[in-house]
Chain A
Amino acid sequence: NAGVTQTPKFRVLKTGQSMTLLCAQDMNHEYMYWYRQDPGMGLRLIHYSVGEGTTAKGEVPDGYNVSRLKKQNFLLGLESAAPSQTSVYFCASSYPTDNPSRTQYFGPGTRLLVL
C-alpha cells in the first residue's frame, strides 16, 4: 500500500515550456486534490476532483489544467510555465464524507522551478 505517490519529485522548466505532474493513489479514494505551497502562504487549492471524469476549480486555478481519466490518477498540467508557478506541488486524496473519514492523505510533493 503506497498511499499517494507523485511524479516527478523535482523539475526545472524554462518559461513557456509545458509539463504534466502525475498523482496516483491506491486507497480507492473518490476525492483528489492539487495544492501549491509557497513560503508563508500555507497550502492553496488549485483544482480538485470528486470522482472519475469530473474536475473543478479551486482557489488558484489560472495557468493550470487537470484531468481524472482513471479513479486512481489525477494529472496536473502546465501548458506554458511562468516563473510565478515556481512552487512545491502537493497532491492529496480522501473519502468524500466522514464515513469513514474526511482525512486528506498527501503525497511527498513535487518541487518545480521555472526559470
Chain B
Amino acid sequence: GENVEQHPSTLSVQEGDSAVIKCTYSDSASNYFPWYKQELGKGPQLIIDIRSNVGEKKDQRIAVTLNKTAKHFSLHITETQPEDSAVYFCALGYGYGQNFVFGPGTRLSVLP
C-alpha cells in the first residue's frame, strides 16, 4: 500500500518564528493532501488541505505547498504562537474518498 514519510518527528521553535513540516510519498495516484492538528487528549482536526491540481494554498498563518513531480508536500506555519503547539499529521487521499494514509506525525513545540 501507499506509504508516507513525515519529517521532522519533533520540532521546537521560538514564538514568532516559522515552522515547516515536510511529507513525501510514493504513489502518484494520490490526489488529496490534508493536514491535521491534534491537541493533547483530542481527536485530529483538519487545518488545511490541497488538491492535486493546486500547487499552493494559504489560510492566514498556515500554508501548504505541493510538488507533485517530486512527490512531496509541506506545511508552513508563520508567526508561531504557543497555541500552535500540538502534533501535526499529513495524510494522503486517493481513490474515491475512502482511502487515506496518515504520516507518523510531528510534535511541534512553540517556546515562549
A100: CB under 8 A from chain B?
Answer: no
Of B56-64, B76-84, B95-103, the one touching chain A: B95-103
Q: How many A-B residue pairs have CB under 8 A?
A: 63
Assembled-state Cα–Cα distance A92/B104 (Å): 18
B45: CB under 8 A from chain A?
Answer: yes
Within 8 A of B (CB), among A41-100: 41-45, 48, 50, 56, 59, 90, 92, 94-98
Q: If the complex has contacts A108-B42, A109-B42, are A43 and B102 also in contact, measured as CB distance less than 8 A?
A: yes
- Give the contacting residue for A43; candidates B32, B49, B89; CB below 8 A: B89
Taking residues whose C-beta sits less than 8 angstroms from the other chain, chain A's interface range is 20 to 34
Assembled-state Cα–Cα distance A50/B43 (Å): 21
B71: CB under 8 A from chain A?
Answer: no
Name, among B36, B42, B43, the residue most crowded by chain A CB atoms within 10 Å (CB to CB): B43
Asked whether B102 lies within 8 Å of A102 as measured between CB atoms, the reply is no
B29: CB under 8 A from chain A?
Answer: no
Assembled-state Cα–Cα distance A71/B36 (Å): 25
Q: If the complex has contacts A42-B103, A106-B43, A107-B43, are A31 and B98 also in contact, measured as CB distance less than 8 A?
A: yes
Asked whether B97 lies within 8 Å of A106 as measured between CB atoms, the reply is no
Q: Which chain B residue lies CB-closest to A41? A: B104
A103: CB under 8 A from chain B?
Answer: yes
Assembled-state Cα–Cα distance A40/B104 (Å): 6
Asked whether A104 lies within 8 Å of B98 as measured between CB atoms, the reply is no
Name, among B6, B46, B97, B103, the residue most crowded by chain A CB atoms within 10 Å (CB to CB): B97
Per-position 1/0 for B26-41, Cβ under 8 A of A: 0000001010100001
- Chain A residues within 8 Å of B, Cβ to Cβ: 4, 31, 33, 35, 40-45, 48, 50, 56, 59, 90, 92, 94-98, 102-109
- Chain B residues within 8 Å of A, Cβ to Cβ: 1, 6, 9, 32, 34, 36, 41-46, 49, 51, 89, 93, 96-98, 100-105
